[in-house]
Each structure stands twice: as structure tokens, then as C-alpha cells.
Amino acid sequence: MGACIQNRIKQNSLDHSLTRDFYTSPDIYLLDLERYWGRNWLFAGHVSQIPNVGDFFLFDFGNESVIISRDEDDTISAYLNVCRHRGSRICLESHGNKRTFTCPYHAWTYNLKGDLIWAGHMPESFKSSNYSLKSVNLMNFQGLVFICLADNPPSIAPTLEKLAPLTRPFALEQLKIAHSASYPVAANWKLALENYMECYHCAPSHKEYSKSHSLKDPDEMEALIPSLNIRSEAAGLLIGEINSTGPTSTDIGTDCYYRRYPLFSGYDTGSNNGQPLAPLLGSLASYDGGASDLQIGSLNNFLIYSDHVIAYRFIPTGLQTSDIQTFWLVRGDAEEGKDYVLDDLTWLWHVTTLDDERIIRHNQQGVNSFHYHPGPLSSMEFGVSEFHHGYLTMLAQE
């Protein structure tokens, strides 16, 4: 595999789509899980999901399941959901509150720090301390919780320090998840992610989005930015961008992108009628009519309006099956029915994701042809190219 994968990586050119086997080969899918999903920071959830000692939730992807929980010291930690005895899942509930995790098979029992505190009938030489649950790296950025399975995760902290002041006015740590949804798609996860990484398809494919979001037309967008900046400053936002992605990132897996772009006139937020959807986030004084594209690490994408946030992830569930998982977040103190209406809040990115599911599925069908060859990328697909840069580099690393 070692030599082979290097050759297959070299067939690729960064200004084209990937070669066929990266979307069709079981070998490469296993490498994707091991070398890319196993090494990158992954968005697991939000601190509001586990406010109290003993609260936990699971984050499942590919073959893995991770427990994120809050222990008696009020520390949030992550552990692999795999018993150290014979490998059973130890936690079967998607979320809840526990003081210990007892394996449903032979009752090996772990505390909230992952220590093994009970195992019956073991030989005298057996040392419980050697059989703690595998610890998983965890990072909390303004309430957004990320995990990484690798022993040495990408050093993203310095970049996030630069990001922090730009996102601080939104008070992300005070959000709550108003709704989440999963959209299964019959395609390799990379086709789903690539779809998110460019707005070249927005005008042809997303009529609802394109009605209100200028990103679909770079020239039009640029013209609207000066007036957006004035409104953003008035609302209490700092003006600034971060573009440390692909070849310009400080290190593989440390990608970070932040840019606020204008909605069209008449749109305060990503709503159908342009009207607000929920209370203003954090310390914002007013609607600026903008939306911030935020990427943290290789795989985690967020869209920040003045009154809500969307989080997107593209979870591999098989070689040609994925889940597009979407989260809608609002102020933690907002009340459903009173401060926001769920159907209105979720409308835009529900219809847009349904469109994307169809597009991505047909992309996979075409790529499966033995006669598919990588085609050239447009200037609006720089994000795809930057993803490929980091992806191919990371896959090449033993």
C-alpha cells in the first residue's frame, strides 16, 4: 500500500477534481478513515449539550464512537467508546447523565475520567490502571467542542488565537442547539465536502440561497463589501479575515478561514423573507446583513448569521455513503415558539441541503464511470483545491 498510494496521490493535480479511485476504491476509503479522519480535529458538539457533572453525548463517525462527558472536576473529556476487555461498545445511549460507564457485556466499569474501577474474575497479575478507556484529545474553542483521535493532533491553537477576537462578539459559548438533522447521501464523503467548499454551484443549484446570498457572484459580492463593513462595525464586529487554508495554512490540519460576506439588500439574516429569525447573538447591537463563513481545521464548517449559526459536517458511513449532519444554533436563552420558530429557522439550509444531496449523489454516479477523468476547476472552486492540498498531503504521510 505504501508505495502504491504515493503513486496514486501523484496522479492528482490541484487544479482538477480527484482521480476516480479516490471516490471509488475501498483501499483509499480505509486510508481516509485512518489517516485523515483519524488525524484531523473533528467537530463533536457544543458545550451546552453537557452543562452538568456526568452529562455526556456520543459522537460517531466511520467505525468510531467517542464519548464526550463532563467529570466531577467540571472538566470535559473524550474517551473511545470501546471496552478494554473484549471490545464491546460500553455506552449505547446517544446522550444522558452517568457517574460510571458499565460495559453491557461483562460489566467492566469505568469512571468519568475513563479509569477502570471494576473488573471481576481477573488474574492477580491484572492491573486495572493499564486498562483505562482510550483517551481522545479534546479542544474547546468558544464552546465548540472538537476531538482528535491522533496522539499528536494538528497544532491549531496559534491560528485560533487570531480567530478568537473575530468570533468573540457572537458569544458562541452561549449558544444552544435548536435543531439538528442528518441527510444520508449515496456518495463518498469527499464529494459531499467538496460540494460545501465552493459556491460555483450556488447560482445554478440553489435558487433560495442565491436570492439572498451574494457569495454566488464574486463580482457582485465585492461591490457590496464596503457598505457591509460599515454596518458590521456599527453592530460591534471587528473587520478582518483569516485565510490560512491549503498551501497557506501553517501546518496540515490547521486550516482556518473566516470571512464575512454580504447578504443582498433587504436580508437581515438567512430567512425566507429577510426578516430576523432569532434574538441577536452575543453583544451584537444590530443586524449588519452579513454572514460569516468559518472553517476550523480541515473538516469543520460554520456559517454565522447575526442571529443564528449553522454547523456542517460530512460524516463517512461507507465508501459511497455519507451523512450530511447539520446543526442550527441560537442564543442559549432563546425560547422556541417565543423567540424563534423552528420551521422558519431551519428552512433555508434544509431546502439547500436537500438540493445538495441530489447533486452529490449524481456526482458520485458519474464519477463511477470508468470513463470519468478529472476535470479542471474554475476560479470559484479555490476551496476544493485547498481541501485537496491538505487531504493529499495528509494521506501521503505514513
The footprint of its own copies (CB under 8 A) covers 17, 33-34, 38, 63-65, 80-90, 92, 102, 104-107, 119-123, 126, 131, 134, 149, 194, 200-201, 203-205, 218, 358-359, 362-363, 365-380
3-state secondary structure at position 253: coil
When the beta carbons of 74 and 370 are compared against its own copies, the nearer one is 370
CB of 396 to its own copies, least distance (A): 19
When the beta carbons of 41 and 141 are compared against its own copies, the nearer one is 41
43, 60, 87, 141, 169 from 178: Cα distances, Å: 17, 20, 34, 19, 20
d(CA 262, CA 260): 7
When the beta carbons of 203 and 221 are compared against its own copies, the nearer one is 203
**Partners of residue 68 on adjacent β-strands:** 57, 78
CB of 113 to its own copies, least distance (A): 18
d(CA 200, CA 215): 9
CB of 84 to its own copies, least distance (A): 5
When the beta carbons of 19 and 232 are compared against its own copies, the nearer one is 19
When the beta carbons of 347 and 372 are compared against its own copies, the nearer one is 372
When the beta carbons of 168 and 201 are compared against its own copies, the nearer one is 201
CB of 134 to its own copies, least distance (A): 5
d(CA 363, CA 361): 5
- Which candidate, 342, 37, 375, places its Cα nearest to that of 193? 37
The set of cell numbers assigned to 332 is 442559549
User: By the 8 A CB rule, do 156 and 139 touch?
Assistant: yes
- Which candidate, 72, 62, 37, 67, places its Cα nearest to that of 49? 67
CB of 116 to its own copies, least distance (A): 10
When the beta carbons of 86 and 162 are compared against its own copies, the nearer one is 86
| Residue 166: burial class (beta carbons within 10 Å; 0-12, 13-18, 19+) | buried
CB of 375 to its own copies, least distance (A): 4
CB of 78 to its own copies, least distance (A): 12
d(CA 110, CA 133): 8
Kindly tell me the number of DSSP H helices and DSSP E strands found in the chain.
Answer: 10, 17
